[in-house]
Amino acid sequence: MTFFGTQILSFQPERRERRFRAPLRHFDFYNDRAIYRDVRRKLEVTLDQSAMPMAWNATWNQWRHLLGAKIELQGTFVKTGKYRHRGSEWDLVEWETALPSRVHVRLPADIAKQIETARRSYHRFGEFSQAFKQIRTRIEREPLEREQLRSLCWDLGIPGDFDVAQINWRPDFNPFFCQQLSRRARQIYLFRGEYIFDLPGGIAVETPQLGHATYLFSKSSSMEAFLAVYIKSSKDDIRRNRGNIAEKLGFLGRTIHDSNPCSWLKNLESFLAEEARP
267 and 185 inside one domain: yes
Instruction: Look at residues 88, 108, 128 and tell me which one is the last residue of a structural domain.
Output: 108
- The total of structural domains in the chain comes to 2
Question: Cα–Cα distances in Å, from 96 out to 70, 80, 118, 233?
Answer: 20, 6, 30, 45
Does the residue 258 lie in any domain? yes
What pLDDT sits at residue 273? 76
Residue 242 phi/psi, 5-degree rounding, is: -65, 130
What pLDDT sits at residue 82? 72
176 and 103 inside one domain: no
Angle between helices 111-127 and 129-141 (to 10 degrees): 90
What pLDDT sits at residue 94? 85
Residue 50: domain span: 13-108
What pLDDT sits at residue 7? 45
CATH number of the domain that 28 lies in? 2.40.50
What pLDDT sits at residue 13? 65
Does the residue 250 lie in any domain? yes
Q: Write the CB contacts of 272 (distance below 8 Å, at least 6 apart in sequence).
A: 184, 199, 200, 201, 202
95 and 22 inside one domain: yes
Does the residue 27 lie in any domain? yes
Which one-letter DSSP state was computed for residue 76?
Answer: E
173 and 98 inside one domain: no
pTM over 0.85? The answer is no
Residue 262 three-state SS = helix
Does the residue 268 lie in any domain? yes
Does the residue 133 lie in any domain? no
What pLDDT sits at residue 84? 73
Does the residue 158 lie in any domain? no
Does the residue 40 lie in any domain? yes
168 and 99 inside one domain: no
Instruction: Look at residues 67, 84, 108 and tell me which one is the last residue of a structural domain.
Output: 108
Q: Write the CB contacts of 107 (distance below 8 Å, at least 6 apart in sequence).
A: 52, 53, 54, 71
174 and 90 inside one domain: no
Task: Report the distance separating Cα 69 and Cα 60, nearest Å.
Answer: 14
93 and 174 inside one domain: no
189 and 255 inside one domain: yes
Instruction: Look at residues 43, 74, 108 and tell me which one is the last residue of a structural domain.
Output: 108
Q: Are 54 and 107 in contact (CB under 8 A)?
A: yes
The per-residue pLDDT string of the chain (278 residues; one tens digit each, 9 = 90 and over) reads 444 444 444 445 678 899 999 999 999 999 999 999 998 889 999 999 899 989 999 999 999 999 989 999 999 999 887 777 777 788 777 889 999 999 999 999 999 999 999 999 999 999 999 999 999 999 999 999 999 999 999 999 998 888 999 999 988 888 889 999 999 999 999 999 999 999 988 999 999 988 899 999 999 999 999 999 999 999 999 999 999 999 999 999 999 887 778 889 888 888 877 665 55
170 and 271 inside one domain: yes
Does the residue 185 lie in any domain? yes
